[in-house]
Amino acid sequence: MSRKEEKPRVDIYARITDRIVADLEKGVRPWMRPWSVANTAGRITRPLRHNGEPYSGMNVILLWSEAVARGFASPVWMTFKQAGELGGHVRKGETGSLVVYASRFTKTESDGRGGEVERDIPFLKTYTVFNTEQIDGLPDRFHVRPQVVADPVERIEHADRFFANTGAVIRHGGSAAFYSPSSDHIQMPPFESFRDAASYVAVLSHEIVHWTADSLRVGRDLSRYAKDRTERAREECVAELGSCFLCADLGIAPELEPRSDHASYLASWLILLKSDKRAIFSAAAHAQRAVTYLHGLQPHAATIAEAA
């Protein structure tokens, strides 16, 4: 494959990363936007495909951002072809939204000793989807506003069961929330010190994503976390994205008010994303694996597929 053919694929990473960097430079975390708009009526879900299957990973961030920017309340998206198969048609003049799909191809190369080896080359494919609010003629089920989720008490009880089912050791005391790899436990401030129960759950969701890093779970290397600012930035980005995905699944608002250490994280994320156009894609993939793992620990719960 020529360098010229590879360039458009690299540009996908750059194009999306540049958009996220522009938001971060304004102090806006784009993955937090859905919880700050009025048209959600207290209900946040992952973006959904036409068949009700949730999007995952990077596409959650992309479609959340698009929905907020364009004022869509519906969480459902589909391709032009899918809309037609359902009897609908995209209104004239409507523009679609970009989603990505990770794929790979095999390239045969010389091994330098007269032989040949096959190497897998990962790359991104893109395709365009439309929100149901851009489509006429769809069956009525696509235009019914989703009902408000369970009341706050029920949501908190559900979240409590979710965390208990993971088997994570959660201790309480002190004023800081953190995960300790050496003792493999999550430390949380006393429940009473949080503004409300949802805030407690939101912080715990962040820490339990860190907890998945252990080699016996998902397996992310945290050995350089305390010494390397770049590695710390990567892991905190994974935890923040994972927390947002998990909070959406649990019906709980994430940490809308940045913690005291988030200012430094914001600066480090900007440095990371500007130097590595694929970093946000990697973080989203790791976050999705973490959340999928946590769902897999739940009894009788369907795991969220990792495929975007």
Identify whether 89 is part of a domain: yes
Contacts of 257 (CB under 8 A, 6+ apart): none
Q: Digits of tens for pLDDT over the chain (308 positions)?
A: 444 444 444 478 898 999 999 989 988 888 887 776 654 545 678 999 999 999 999 999 999 999 988 989 889 999 999 999 999 999 999 999 999 987 666 777 776 677 777 766 666 788 999 999 999 999 988 877 655 555 667 778 999 999 999 999 999 999 999 999 999 999 999 999 998 888 899 999 999 999 999 999 999 999 999 899 999 999 999 999 999 999 999 988 877 666 666 667 788 999 999 999 999 999 999 999 999 999 999 996 544 444 44
pLDDT at 302: 45
Do 112 and 163 lie in one domain? The reply is no
Last residue of a domain, one of 93, 114, 142: 142
Report strand pairing: 116-131 vs 77-78.
Answer: antiparallel
Sequential DSSP letters for 178-213: EEETTTTEEEE--GGGSSSHHHHHHHHHHHHHHHTT
Identify whether 185 is part of a domain: yes
Tell me: the pLDDT tens digits for 217-245?
999 999 999 899 999 999 999 999 999 99
Do 135 and 162 lie in one domain? The reply is no
Identify whether 289 is part of a domain: yes
Q: Are 48 and 300 in contact (CB under 8 A)?
A: no
Q: Are 285 and 293 in contact (CB under 8 A)?
A: no
Report d(CA 153, CA 87) in Å as an integer.
40
| Sole residue written with tokens 């959660």 | 170
Report d(CA 4, CA 96) in Å as an integer.
27
Reduced to 3 states, what is the DSSP secondary structure of residue 268? helix
Identify whether 308 is part of a domain: no
Q: Are 186 and 172 in contact (CB under 8 A)?
A: no
Tell me: the pLDDT tens digits for 130-166?
999 999 999 988 877 655 555 667 778 999 999 999 9
**Owning domain of residue 67:** 3-142
Do 123 and 192 lie in one domain? The reply is no
Identify whether 304 is part of a domain: no
Sequential DSSP letters for 31-88: GGGGGG-GGGTT-----B-TTSPBP-THHHHHHHHHHHHHT----BEE-HHHHHHTT-
Do 271 and 214 lie in one domain? The reply is yes
Phi, psi of 123 (to 5 degrees): -155, 170
Identify whether 305 is part of a domain: no
Do 24 and 95 lie in one domain? The reply is yes
Report d(CA 177, CA 185) in Å as an integer.
11
Do 112 and 166 lie in one domain? The reply is no
The token pair at 121 is 């080359």
Last residue of a domain, one of 142, 170, 191: 142
